[in-house]
Each structure stands twice: as structure tokens, then as C-alpha cells.
A and B are shown apart, each in its own frame.
Chain A
Amino acid sequence: MEHSGKVAPIIECRNVSKTFKNKGNSLEVLQNLSLSVRENEFVVLLGPGQCGKTTLMNIIAGLEPATSGEVFFQGERVAKPNPKLGMVYQTTALFPWLSVMKNVDFGPRMRHMPRKERREKAQHFIDLVGLTGFEKAYPIKLSGGMRQRVGIARAYCNDPAVLLMDEPFGHLDAQTRYSMQDAIERIWSREKRTVVFITNNIEEAIFLADRIVLLTNCPTNVKKEILVDLPRPRDYVSRGFLKIREDISKIFEITK
């Protein structure tokens, strides 16, 4: 393992394959994919649309079984969903009948954490994502970017060891997206967690990642890994940034 060193990886996928079967047709989505993530590492999985990224995320989270191969989380085989793995989805899955505060403190509430404690905790993350003052608002009153912030605060509030983020900014406009990338960068620097982040946006990947894992198209496998060794917060048009961007574009054969 290139990145494991002496420390055991927090997540390890070994030869994971996944085939969907439907009325005699079968579609191989993941093929013998191996991948490991170290503790507190920010890993971005970057690949084209419809390449099986979400399927891989679901398998890591224990939401879906692999056809063959194994996934380990903190050394144990993943067989079912684990609250230590927090998910942030492409479209925010907020509870529309709950306020921002109640959405964020939902996890601790289900685990019967005392009210005062869980409210303080939720407030901390609401402040961190920049939604101070919106605690009582309902999701319908919020913009797309704000809803994603609630989803992120909620995931953090569960104290996950790993955050799995599946294209959380895919539906946001380019400018809101930049503001969210800033927010994620700031939160991650202050609340170190292991993050596995899926995107099809090259700039977003370079801005956020310690390491970018480039995925091939269906059936998906690891094409290449790129360490991003640029100081944070990163500048989208710095020479080093543009160089990595060009390298990745070449690997994906995107000419421009």
C-alpha cells in the first residue's frame, strides 16, 4: 500500500467489484477496485458522470453489498451501515418538517444525548457552516447552498470518524459552489476528519484534496492517484494549481 505506511488505513477497499443484473442484462460498474484512505486524509474521487462513484460510496458506507471483494473500516469488515460513517448526499435529504436546529441535532437526539449538550453541539456546527441566525428556519425557506450547509452540519454533529460526501455541490451554481468549497476547506482545517469526497469537477478536486483518485469510466477502476502538495487555502489560478489541472485534463483526454 503506497500510502498506508506503518499506520493501518481507516478505510480499505480490496478488489471490490459490483455488477447490477436486470432481466438478463448485466452491467459491471466496479471492477476489482482497491483503495485505501488514511486517518484525517481528504481524499477526492474524481471521475466522469455515471462511472459508478455513488455505487462505490454506498458500498463503503455499508448501504449496498459488493458483488465480490471486501471493504474494511477501522480494520473491521463493513457489512451494514455504521453511524461512524457520515453521509452528505447529492441532493440534501433534510427533514422538511424540522427546523435547521432539529435537523442538525437529529442524530444526537436519537442517541438520547441530553438536550442542553446536543443543542450546544448542534449550535457549534451551525455556526461553523455559517448558518448562525437560521436555527429556527425550515428547509423550504433556505437556498440550495444553505440546505447543503445544513446537511454538512448534520453529518458532523453525529461525530463520524469519516465523512462521505457524494457530489454535495453538484446542483449549485458556480459561484455558490466556490463559497461552499471555501466553507468545506475552513471546516476541515478546524475539525479534522477523514473525508472521502466525490466530484466530477477538476477544480473542486484540486482545491480540496490531499490526494485525488482518478477513476476510469464504467467498469470503474483506479486510473491514477495524484498527491496535491499545494499550500491551503489554494488559489484556483496559481501556477501550481493550473499545472495539476492540465495534468488531470490530459489524463482524462479533455483537450482545452
Chain B
Amino acid sequence: MNKVEVRNLTKSFGDLLVLDDVSFDVKDGEFLAIVGPTGCGKTTFLNSLTQIYDIDSGSILLNGEPVNLKKHSLAYIMQEYSTMSWLNVRQNVQFGLEIKGFSRKEVREKAERALELVGLTQFRDYYPNQLSASMLQRVAIARAFAVQPDLLLMDEPYGQLDLELRFKLEDELLNLWRKLGTTVIFITHNIEEAVYLSERILVLSNKPTAIKETIENRLPYPRSVTSEAFVELRNRVTALIKWW
């Protein structure tokens, strides 16, 4: 079954055509990575899916029907920090849980677990302006993980984190994905990350963005970034998008 169906999606900003007649499906429970050159419109796609932007033409269906943010369980981790400055760390993470109507006790417990996961337990009473850039991103990650969404949209979520934490959260994401059967759409500039995480990689072209190639990634989990098969796949994807 398809979780997401994108049909003939077209979006422009004024004269600038960003997405040009893009169509693809994401299967239920699939881990899809989307890569492409810098500035190719990857973020625009997620912003269209979540209805932050109106699209010009085409359609995006979730579970076979138009996206309904009240009904569908999805979480979106944006590239730029999206914490609410008037709420402390704990309240930021609890926000989604409260909207979903969990009991007070459950809200507390789930938020605590998510904070522990990203290593922010001792900062739960801090406000966003007291935190570093990587900590802010961890708040957003905890908030998304806490609600255990069945569609998780991630836009370059680990770009600013140091390596150790990035690896830890990548593995944690894989655990979450397998345990909960979450469908994940993961956008990244980092080809190694895409090859490490995903089951399928969508390679986008430069603007106006179209799908250049779809690559199945059948390397068994857990993957080793230094194995020959891994390096080969990484080189193949790099060659498709290299502009530098």
C-alpha cells in the first residue's frame, strides 16, 4: 500500500519554477531518502506536503486521501530551528502530545523519554534562548519523536550536529522506524547519511526539479560506512549530483 502518492506536483515562486511535474510514491513503512544538489527544491517539496505552501498543480495524497493535518499523524522536523521561544524545553516537547490529547501522566512520561533520547534531560527547564544551535535541533527532534508519528518528515535534521550525536540519532531513528513501522521521508545533503539510512534514494535534478533517478538500497542493516558495497553506492549517488 502507498502511504504517500505524489502526482504531477508543480510549484513555482513567481517566475521561478521549482518543482516540475514530479510524481512518486512512498510505500507504507518505507524509509525514503531524498538527495539533490544544494538549492534544488527539496525543502519546497516537504513544505508543499505539509501545506505550508499551496501547490500550483498536481496532488499529494496521504493514505489515499488529500493531506489533512488534523487527521493524519505526521511530524515534521525542519532544517531551521522551530522551537517556541516562550515555552521551555519540556513544554516544547510536550506540545504535540497535548494536542493529541494524551493524559497528563502519559504526556510527562513520553516527553521525558524523548528528552532522554536526545540527551536533554538536565536542560528540561531551560528556554530556547539559553541553548546552543545543536541543542535547539535536538528539542525539535524530541518533539517529533515523542508523538510517534506514522509519517515522519525530516529536512536535513542532523546537519548541524556533531558526528557522535549524529551517528547516535541516525541509529536511534532506524530503531524507531523499525519498532513503530513509521514511514520516513528524509531529506539530506549528506550522501553518506542517505546511503546509511534509507531503503530507497530519490535523486533530484537541479531546478526546475525533476526526479533524476531512483536507487534501491538493499544493503543489509546495520550498515558499515566503510564496506565496499557501501562505498560503491555512495560513489554512484555522488556522481549523480556532484556540482562542486
Contact = CB atoms under 8 A, between A and B. Distances in A.
* Main secondary structure on A side of the interface with B: loop
Identify the interface centre among A170, A171, A173: most chain B CB within 10 Å of its CB: A173
A182 B242 CA distance: 13
Interface in B5-62: 37-38
Contacts of A4: none
A254 B169 CA distance: 12
A50 B119 CA distance: 15
Contacts of B189: 173-176
Given A173-B189, A176-B38, A252 B164 contact: yes
A107 to B, nearest CB: 29
A173 B156 contact: yes
Interface residues of B, number: 28
Interface in A160-211: 170-171, 173-176, 178-179, 182, 200-202
A174 B244 contact: no
A49 B161 CA distance: 8
B234 A237 contact: yes
B226 interface: yes
B102 interface: no
B223 to A, nearest CB: 9
A201 B163 contact: yes
B73 interface: no
B243 interface: yes
B235 interface: yes
Identify the interface centre among A175, A179, A254: most chain B CB within 10 Å of its CB: A175
B159 A174 contact: yes
Contacts of B161: 49
B244 A175 contact: yes
B2 interface: no
B163 A174 contact: no
Contacts of A254: 163-164, 167
A252 B171 CA distance: 17
Contacts of B163: 200-202, 254
B190 A245 contact: no
Interface string B233-244: 011000001011
A20 to B, nearest CB: 16
Nearest to B234: A237
Nearest to B36: A175
Interface of A: 48-50, 170-171, 173-176, 178-179, 182, 200-202, 237, 242, 245-246, 252, 254-256
7 contacts: A48-B164, A49-B161, A50-B132, A171-B160, A173-B156, A175-B189, A237-B235
Interface of B: 37-38, 132, 134, 156, 159-165, 167, 171, 188-191, 193, 224-226, 231, 234-235, 241, 243-244
